[in-house]
């Protein structure tokens, strides 16, 4: 299970980084949409990053639990 969750985390970090970088570049345009929020506030970016990583790891939890419950010999044997 640790391997599956680690893989998900390693895939999430670059994706979140790229997304936050693009959001930072597009902040002047996004500022019109975000009523009452400063589009360049560091706390906003931190909250978004933590939310995305939490949701991503939560989505990876189901396959990780499923993979952890399978006997290795059964997988190697096949159907």
E strand map for 18-73: none
The pLDDT assigned to 76 comes to 84
Residues 6+ apart with CB under 8 A from 27: 39, 40
Q: Which domain holds residue 39?
A: 2-77
Asked whether the CA dihedral 40, 19, 9, 55 is positive or negative, the reply is positive
The pLDDT assigned to 68 comes to 86
54, two tokens: 């939490």
Domain count, the chain: 1
Whether 67 contacts 1, CB under 8 Å: yes
pTM of the model: 0.73
The pLDDT assigned to 34 comes to 67
Per-residue pLDDT tens digits for 18-53: 999 998 998 888 777 767 777 788 888 899 899 999
Q: What is the pLDDT averaged over residues 53-68?
A: 91
Residues 6+ apart with CB under 8 A from 67: 1, 4
């Amino acid at each position: 299970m640790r391997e599956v969750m680690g893989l998900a985390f390693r895939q999430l970090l670059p994706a979140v980084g790229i997304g936050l970088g693009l959001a930072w570049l597009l902040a002047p345009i996004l500022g019109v949409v975000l009523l009452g929020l400063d589009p360049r506030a560091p706390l906003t970016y931190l909250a978004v990053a933590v939310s995305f990583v939490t949701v991503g790891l939560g989505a990876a939890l189901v396959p990780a639990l499923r993979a952890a419950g399978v006997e290795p010999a059964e997988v190697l044997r096949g159907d």
